[in-house]
Chain A
Amino acid sequence: MCGIVGLFLKNEDLRPKLGDLLTDMLITMTDRGPDSAGIAIYGDDSSKLKVTVQSDTPDETFRGLDKALSDALGGPVSMRVVDTHAVLTLPEGTEAEARAYLNEKGVRVMGAGHSMEIFKEIGLPKDVAARFHVREMGGSHGIGHTRMATESAVTTLGAHPFSTGDDQCLVHNGSLSNHNQMRRILTEKGFAPKTQNDTEVAACYISSRLAEGANLGEALEGTLDDLDGFFTFVVGTKNGFGVVRDPIACKPAVMAETDDYVAFGSEYRALANLPGIETARVWEPEPATVYFWER
């Protein structure tokens, strides 16, 4: 099944509550997927690049990582450790070098961007959200996922959201049937997925289209032509938030919009406690129709 939630704020006053609202939405969707959970959150726009990394042995792996990376890159690196994840802030222009270094040291990169941070682990949403203190996080928008594994193993790397480009992420409910073929095509284009997970292929697809100059709407439109299978995708970019369902549309989706926010949930339950939901415009997104908002 899987449960997806997303919240894109229009009212700046709600920013401090983003993590709190997303956490409640995600916990409500627990029974749609108890295998793993994750969120991507777009916080304050930093002038420096942030890379979120993960390790199963954080005490050991993260000890002195900032210093070692700083020496390797020849510039200041700061690090914020949150449970099994750490957010590294890098000097400008060092991303490729930093990724190579982290890869060599066996540190998993979950995502990178100037505003996006990403946290995901095996376990129930309430536990994952508590471990990463999601409730205390603020920001402009975020997406979350609680997974019932179908296409690949229950691992941290198999958890959603998947981030395959700076400040980009994607969550998925469904299963893709042409992901092996797409994986080959994307790999040739230089957007190789790192895992065997079908959702990462979709994330790489969006990244490849954005890199080719498509806007978010066009990239989402492309999934309808090029990806086969069942899907509801919710995508975050630095300034945007998008939703698309396949033409058969058997995976559920509900959206709500008020003057303050746009919200997405796999079920209405996820939206039921949002402020002002009683008077919100609530609708089911149409099949094969792209919805997106950008600020």
Chain B
Amino acid sequence: MQTIDLSTTPLRELNSSLQAQSENTNQTEWVITNPKGAHAIAVGLDAPIEVTVKGSTGYYCAGMNQQATVKVTGSAGPGVAENMMSGTVIIDGDASQYAGATGQGGLLVIKGNASSRCGISMKGINIVVHGNIGHMSAFMAQSGNLVVLGDAGDALGDSLYEARLFVRGNVKSLGSDCIEKEMRPEHIEILKDLLERAGADAKPEEFKRYGSARKLYNFHVDHAGAY
């Protein structure tokens, strides 16, 4: 196991070391101590390594991740796992704004609450939030799954495309073109798998599914009021 202390090692050096790991590296376990809310920790990784950050991180932790598993034992600042391609990011505490934004793949697990704009413009990522999410979450989300065990804030799924949103608690309000949809057996299967992978103690049947009414895909004058 490699341990890097951010109180003595510069952040660039840490990220260079992590980014230099190849597909076949034997240095698969990394621990980062004293993050103290620093920005851009463990960004741009592209190797099947496991990185544990002991503490809380600032902006853009684990951004652009591919293959790696990044675990934060505290909370994460804005933009955690932004544009993730693959791999897994787990936040033990809360996540700030736009967690998992534009993510194209992989799994983001937030054990606490996420704030506003969670999964904004998500493009294939799976996000599981054990707590609540804030307003404007999944705005213009295109594909992937957002699973919320708690409640969702205002304007969930505004201008949504094909992403699936599963919420167990209350939704304060739905955004334009976002509607509740029936839970079919295939959705129960997707949800069961995601809940299991995220270590979430919840039954798929307890969730409601939300998705796009598909009225805003192309401009149609009859729908002008919905924009």
A binds B: yes
Using a CB–CB cutoff of 8 Å, the interface residues on chain A facing chain B are 247, 249-250, 252, 254, 267-273, 282-284, 286-287
Once A252-B78, A267-B37, A268-B56 are accepted as A-B contacts, the answer to whether A283 and B116 lie under 8 Å apart by CB is no
Once A267-B58, A268-B56, A282-B56 are accepted as A-B contacts, the answer to whether A252 and B96 lie under 8 Å apart by CB is yes
Task: Across the interface, name the chain A residue whose C-beta is closest to B135.
Answer: A287
The reply to whether B94 and A271 form a contact with Cβ atoms under 8 Å apart is no
Task: Across the interface, name the chain B residue whose C-beta is closest to A249.
Answer: B116
Closest Cβ of chain B: how far from A229's Cβ, in Å? 17
The reply to whether B135 and A273 form a contact with Cβ atoms under 8 Å apart is no
Residue from A272, A283, A284 in contact with B37 in the complex, judged by beta carbons closer than 8 Å: A272
A249-B115, A269-B36, A269-B38 given; 6 more Cβ-contact pairs under 8 Å? A268-B58, A268-B75, A272-B56, A273-B36, A282-B94, A284-B94
Complex interface: chain B residues within 8 A of A270 (CB): 37
B77-113 contact mask (Cβ, 8 Å, vs A): 1 or 0: 1100000000000000110110000000000000000
Closest Cβ of chain B: how far from A50's Cβ, in Å? 35
The reply to whether A269 and B58 form a contact with Cβ atoms under 8 Å apart is yes
The reply to whether B116 and A287 form a contact with Cβ atoms under 8 Å apart is yes
The size of the chain B interface, using a CB distance under 8 A, is 18
Closest Cβ of chain A: how far from B130's Cβ, in Å? 15
Q: Report if B119 contacts A (CB, 8 A).
A: no
Once A282-B75, A284-B115 are accepted as A-B contacts, the answer to whether A268 and B37 lie under 8 Å apart by CB is yes
Task: Across the interface, name the chain A residue whose C-beta is closest to B95.
Answer: A284
Residue from A247, A271, A284 in contact with B96 in the complex, judged by beta carbons closer than 8 Å: A284
Q: Report if B124 contacts A (CB, 8 A).
A: no
Q: Report if B134 contacts A (CB, 8 A).
A: yes
Using a CB–CB cutoff of 8 Å, the interface residues on chain B facing chain A are 36-38, 56-59, 75, 77-78, 93-94, 96-97, 115-116, 134-135
Task: Across the interface, name the chain A residue whose C-beta is closest to B36.
Answer: A272
Complex interface: chain B residues within 8 A of A272 (CB): 36-37, 56
Complex interface: chain B residues within 8 A of A282 (CB): 56, 75, 93-94
Complex interface: chain A residues within 8 A of B115 (CB): 249, 284
Closest Cβ of chain B: how far from A195's Cβ, in Å? 31
A286 to B124, CA, bound (A): 28
Residue from B56, B94, B97, B134 in contact with A252 in the complex, judged by beta carbons closer than 8 Å: B97
Complex interface: chain B residues within 8 A of A254 (CB): 96
Closest Cβ of chain B: how far from A283's Cβ, in Å? 7
Closest Cβ of chain A: how far from B113's Cβ, in Å? 8
Task: Across the interface, name the chain A residue whose C-beta is closest to B153.
Answer: A287
Complex interface: chain B residues within 8 A of A284 (CB): 94, 96, 115
Complex interface: chain B residues within 8 A of A287 (CB): 116, 134-135
Closest Cβ of chain B: how far from A266's Cβ, in Å? 10
Complex interface: chain A residues within 8 A of B37 (CB): 267-272
Closest Cβ of chain A: how far from B7's Cβ, in Å? 11
Complex interface: chain A residues within 8 A of B56 (CB): 268, 272, 282
A287 to B117, CA, bound (A): 12
Task: Across the interface, name the chain A residue whose C-beta is closest to B114.
Answer: A284
A283 to B116, CA, bound (A): 13
Task: Across the interface, name the chain A residue whose C-beta is closest to B132.
Answer: A286
A247 to B155, CA, bound (A): 12
Complex interface: chain A residues within 8 A of B94 (CB): 282-284
Residue from A250, A268, A269, A283 in contact with B97 in the complex, judged by beta carbons closer than 8 Å: A250
Task: Across the interface, name the chain B residue whose C-beta is closest to A247.
Answer: B135
